[in-house]
Amino acid sequence: MAHAHHHHHIDPEAGDRRVALAIGVNIALTVAQIIGGLLSGSLALIADAVHNLSDAVSLIIAFAARRIARRPADPHMSFGYGRAEVVAALINYTSLILIGLYLAYEAVWRFFDPSPIGGWIVVIVAGIALLVDAITALLTWSMAKDSVNIRAAFLHNLADAAGSVAVIVSGVLILLFDWWIVDPIITLGIAAYILWMALSEMPAVIRTLMLASPATLSPKEVHEAVQEVAGVKTVHNAQLWEMQEHRPAFLAHVVIQKGEWGEADAIKAQIKTVLEARFGIAHSVLELECAVHACDDAPDFGNA
């Protein structure tokens, strides 16, 4: 169903402060986890630390992208810098996939080369990690709803929180039953979860970068709505894409019915009103053609 979207945004500066605070606590946690992992010999804890480091890096990338995206358009970047956030999201999802594959490799190797693990250190450090993960999630959760950039960083953190829970379980089982094998098994589980999240979110980011139509809009419905405006004969060479997240754009050749050319400006204004009111398309470019000189056999969409 095609419809307009309205988003409630947090003040940009306040959002920046939240992200900066999240970066700080994640860097501190990463250091603590690496030390704890080395002291205890826990691969799962080191795996969680590596992923937590990626959380910090992902937040730094997200922070930089937020700042860049707010730059105004200029002659060299006439569409503005908003896509910096989409690029940042792609970088973060790609890093998640690489991390997931690396952790899976390390876990499989540990099956063939087991080592003793200090359960108490694992449980304590992972418990602290879970607390920090919860704080970071709270700082970024509301912003993640409206930003693919922050959502990518948030999913980094969510995966790390799941990892912390898994590591705590691993430490408890090692303490109670000396089940060292649970450490690489849980590491494999963390890797699988990371890969699943990244691979499920990445297609939407790629769609935006590939100038695909927004997933929330039906190109056919938009095309029909324009063609139904009084005075319009046909619409061809239409293009519907997202300039950046939540900012759909539309371009088309519009053929004005015979005898209506005198109302061309009013027809164009009505089309723009329909596009924004029904579909949330505030950016539209319309090339008007009179019926006598209209293009023949032009496709409804694209320039083929």
Residue 3 is predicted with a pLDDT of 46
CATH superfamily of 219-293: Cation efflux protein, cytoplasmic domain (3.30.70.1350)
Q: Do 11 and 143 meet the contact criterion of CB atoms below 8 Å apart?
A: no
**Between residues 100 and 29, which one has the greater pLDDT?**
100
For 190, the token pair is: 């963390």
In CATH, what number does 12-209 get? 1.20.1510.10
Residue 4 is predicted with a pLDDT of 43
Q: Is pLDDT of 59 > 90?
A: no
Residue 289 is predicted with a pLDDT of 92
Say what the pTM is.
0.75
- Which range is least confidently modeled, 118-122, 186-190, 224-228, 270-274? 118-122
Per-residue confidence at 32, pLDDT binned at 50, 70, 90? confident
Per-residue confidence at 1, pLDDT binned at 50, 70, 90? very low
Nearest to 109 by CA among 57, 183, 45: 183
* Topology match between the domains 12-209 and 219-293: no
Mean pLDDT: which of 8-12, 167-171, 270-274 is highest?
270-274
Listed by start position, the domains of the chain span 12-209, 219-293
**Between residues 227 and 111, which one has the greater pLDDT?**
227
Residue 5 is predicted with a pLDDT of 44
Q: What are φ and ψ of residue 253, in 5° steps?
A: -95, 125
Per-residue confidence at 255, pLDDT binned at 50, 70, 90? very high
Per-residue confidence at 2, pLDDT binned at 50, 70, 90? very low
What is the C-alpha to C-alpha distance for residues 81 and 62, in angstroms, rounded to an integer? 14
